[in-house]
Amino acid sequence: MSRRQIAMVMDLNKCIGCQTCTTACKTQWTNRSGREYMYWNNVETLPGRGYPANWQDSGGGFDAAGNLRPGRIPNLERDYGMPVELNYSKALGPLGGRQFGRNAEAPSSFDDGRPPLAPVIKPKGGPNWDEDTGAGEYSNSYYFYLPRICNHCTNPPCLQACPRKAIYKREEDGIVLIDQDRCRGYQHCVAACPYKKIYFNPLRGKSEKCIFCYPRIEQGLSTACAQQCVGRIRFVGYLDDEESPVHQLVKKWKVALPLHAEYGTEPNVYYVPPLSPPKYDSEGRLTDQRRIPDEYLIGLFGPLVPGVLQTLLEERDKQRRGEGSELLDILIAYRHEEMFTLDADYYRRGDQASAAALARTPSSAGASQSECAGMMSHAAQSGGAIPAVLDARLQQRLNNLQVAAGNGGGDDGAA
């Protein structure tokens, strides 16, 4: 148990599925080779298969007795989808359309026999593959967006499954990180995480994951995904801070619920479940049934969902009557900065324990600050280009490692 726990609340009534958060995270942390398929933050359309495909059926987490449940490691081609490489040079000319300087040959039209810009290999799946598909029959069809990051669980099975003890939970704020020096890439953590929020980097032979932007958090800044969120759906703060909207939504109003609490990991990302418009009957008249079935939302966020939706409706009605609603004022988030209650001084002050923990993080997190600087210089050297997709050799290596992990690769005894 950490001394404090940082947490995030996402209001699903406000997410517009724009993927700005996904891009903010991708450009900040994972736009380097070996990470093409990684989305530490992804936004999926539900009902849908999600990313990686069918992660909700991939096992992991804990059983009712508190034992680790077996889980599977997703396959790159089948579950993540091969990262897409576009035929830039064929479609846009010798410079691949990436740099059109004064002397560069810029394409003028596509009527010179060149093909249109398209993927080199026809993709069969990938992140956001079933965007806006949803479920139900017109005119009662429905869908909503579910943004996902690592839940920085209070009881993380990824940590328990690692035979190298490479995964740790920070004492000062509960952020879960992978010590890159200790990780040997066995991927037991990937199998154990029921949310499939750990990714294997085949180039480095290490597992990597969301780091809750800890270098920003320590400066009192919110995570990149929350800071950039267009819909202002994300609140960030410490669960024990009564002034924080996170505390108020989770503990006081109890309208923010964890995703799949039954996995037993005690997630620290919470969701305000989505309301939906009423259904039509066969005559086209509005009914009193919600379009998104309560049973579906209960399957995600647990049995408290109907009560939460009722609270949201009652508070909305109060607001409409002009009586005002403290809850809606929080959820509307009139002032962006009030969505984040962070404390740089807390990290600066620290006590002996947190000072020791802080000394450990810069070289040991999933992507350290120095690594981030390396990424920036890599991007600068390559003209900001996103690295090429995995070649066949790397894919083979990834497959081999997955087989090895499945065959019980364990601690090799190295310190």
DSSP class of residue 76?
Answer: I
- CB burial of residue 12 (10 Å; 0-12, 13-18, 19+): buried
Residue 157 within binding range of ligand SF4, rule CB under 6 A = yes
Interaction between residue 249 and ligand SF4 (CB under 6 A) = no
Alpha-carbon 368 to chain mean position = 18
**Which residue's C-beta sits nearest to ligand SF4?**
231
Asked if 347 interacts with ligand SF4 (CB under 6 A), we say no
Q: Does 55 bind ligand SF4 (CB under 6 A)?
A: no
257 neighbors 249 (Cβ within 8 angstroms)? no
Stretch that binds ligand SF4, among 26-34, 65-73, 226-234, 291-299 (CB under 6 A): 226-234
- Comparing CB distances to ligand SF4, the nearer of 2 and 311 is 2
Orientation of helix 294-301 relative to helix 305-320, angle to 10°: 110
By the rule CB under 6 A, 209 interacts with ligand SF4 = yes
Q: What is the DSSP string of 50-72?
A: TTTTTGGGSB-SB-TTSPBPPB-
> Is residue 333 involved in binding ligand SF4 (CB under 6 A)?
no
How would DSSP label each residue in 228-258? H-TT--EEEEETT-TTSHHHIIIIIS---EE
Identify the residue among 13, 20, 33, 87 touching ligand SF4 (CB under 6 A): 20
Q: Is 96 helix (H, G, I), strand (E, B) or coil?
A: coil
Binding segment (CB under 6 A) for ligand SF4, from list 82-90, 152-160, 303-311, 317-325: 152-160
Size of the site for ligand SF4 (CB under 6 A): 28
CB 208 within 8 A of CB 197: no
Closest CB 96 distance from ligand SF4, rounded Å: 29
Q: Which of 248, 265, 361, 368 binds ligand SF4 (CB under 6 A)?
A: 265
Report if residue 259 touches ligand SF4, rule: CB under 6 A. no
Give the residue, chosen from 35, 152, 164, 279, that forms a contact with ligand SF4 under the rule CB under 6 A: 152
Q: Which tokens in the block code for residue 7? A: 């947490």
Give the one residue of 156, 174, 202, 237 binding ligand SF4; rule: CB under 6 A. Answer: 156
Contact status: 71 vs ligand SF4 (CB under 6 A): no
Distance (Å, whole) CA 77 – CA 125: 8
The three-state secondary structure class of 158 is helix
CB of 6 to ligand SF4, least distance (A): 12
**Can you tell me the distance from the alpha carbon of 327 to that of 250, in angstroms, rounded to the nearest whole number?**
11
Q: How far is the CB of 147 from ligand SF4 (least distance, A)?
A: 4
* Cβ-based nearer residue to ligand SF4, 20 or 56: 20
Q: Which of residues 175-194 bind ligand SF4 (CB under 6 A)?
A: 176, 193
Considering the complex, what minimum distance in angstroms separates the CB of residue 192 from ligand SF4?
7
| SS3 assignment, position 168 | strand
> Residues of 300-320 as b/e, b for ≥16 C-beta within 10 angstroms?
bbbeebeebbeebeebeeeee
**Residues contacting 104, CB < 8 A, separation 6+:** 95
Minimum CB separation of residue 100 from ligand SF4 in Å reads: 30
Least Cα distance to 143 among 253, 217, 48, 251 occurs for 48
Q: How far apart are the first and last CA of the chain?
A: 25
Q: Give the range of 16-24, 45-53, 179-187, 274-282 binding ligand SF4 by CB under 6 A.
A: 16-24
Interface with ligand SF4, residue 235, by CB under 6 A: no
Closer to ligand SF4 by Cβ: residue 308 or 339: 339
- Region from 96-104, 156-164, 297-305, 391-399 binding ligand SF4, contact rule CB under 6 A: 156-164
State the residues that interact with ligand SF4 by CB under 6 A.
Answer: 15-21, 43, 145, 147, 150-153, 156-158, 176, 193, 195, 197-198, 209, 229-231, 233, 265
